[in-house]
């Protein structure tokens, strides 16, 4: 089966090669840049539509900054509310780390790329602390480096739309 989204990510040059340090601190010879690629409506639209059609939720949420466009686009496609999880509390205005209402809601957490799962686990803990029910996380690309197993420890299923191996197997630059 051909993963059309993987093909689209390659066409949009969402994978770059070189020397990179990831958010997890790991070194890598490739970088998955969903943040930049998803600024294009012809990529963001299909991602959002796939998530909206495949998953059941009351609210879609994303951790700032990479998952914000995803959460908003899925919210529009599904016609359901979204929430944003800040990386830190503000010291002015409403100081909450979550923008949006999640208490008592079934929340689908979305992420652009997962590696070790650190950012997602932060989002998961923040949502659960606020009273949300979270049992699934959708990532556009899973780097297949431990996030799935780490989230399973928290009774959460990680569902990737694309595995990094699909990108590496198809990209003609590899």
The count of C-alpha atoms lying within 13 angstroms of the C-alpha of 48, restricted to the half-sphere facing its C-beta, is: 26
Q: Which helix (H) or strand (E) holds 21?
A: strand 15-21
pLDDT band at residue 22, thresholds of 50, 70 and 90?
confident
Buried b or exposed e, range 121-135, using 16+ CB within 10 angstroms: bebbebbeebebebe
pLDDT at residue number 1? 44
Q: Is the model's pLDDT at 165 over the cut of 50?
A: yes
Residue showing tokens 């059941």: 56
Q: What is the mean pLDDT of residues 135-152?
A: 96
Instruction: Give every CB contact of residue 9 below 8 A, 6+ residues apart in sequence.
Output: 15, 34, 37, 43, 140, 141, 162, 167
Would you state the pLDDT for residue 26?
A: 86
Domain boundaries, the chain: 47-165
Residue 90 has pLDDT above 80, yes or no: no
pLDDT of 93 strictly over 80 = no
Q: Which of 136, 145, 80 is nearest to 108 (CA)?
A: 136
What residues pair up with 137 in beta bridges, in sequence order? 109, 158
pLDDT at 105: 98
Residue 72 has pLDDT above 80, yes or no: yes
Instruction: Specify the CATH number for 47-165; select among 3.30.9.10, 3.30.70.270, 1.25.40.10, 3.40.50.2020.
Output: 3.40.50.2020
pLDDT for the residue 95: 60
Is the pLDDT at 25 greater than 90, yes or no?
no
CA distances to 1, 14, 167 from 170, rounded to whole Å, are 13, 13, 5
pLDDT at 92 > cutoff 60: no
For position 3, what pLDDT does the model report?
86
pLDDT exceeds 80 at position 71? yes
């Amino acid at each position: 089966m051909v993963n059309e989204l993987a093909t689209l990510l390659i066409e949009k040059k969402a994978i770059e090669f070189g020397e990179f340090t990831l958010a997890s601190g790991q070194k890598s010879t490739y970088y998955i840049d969903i943040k930049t690629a998803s600024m294009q409506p012809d990529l963001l639209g299909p991602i959002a539509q796939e998530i909206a059609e495949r998953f059941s939720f009351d609210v879609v949420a994303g951790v700032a900054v990479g998952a914000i466009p995803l959460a908003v686009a899925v919210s529009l496609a599904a016609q359901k509310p979204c929430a944003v999880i800040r990386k830190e509390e503000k010291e002015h205005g409403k100081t909450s780390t979550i923008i949006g209402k999640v208490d008592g809601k079934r929340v689908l957490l979305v992420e652009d790329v997962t590696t070790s799962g650190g950012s997602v686990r932060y989002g998961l803990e923040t949502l659960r602390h606020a009273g949300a029910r979270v049992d699934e996380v959708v990532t556009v690309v899973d780097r297949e480096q431990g996030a799935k197993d780490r989230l399973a420890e928290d009774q959460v299923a990680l569902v990737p739309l694309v595995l990094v191996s699909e990108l590496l197997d198809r990209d003609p630059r590899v």
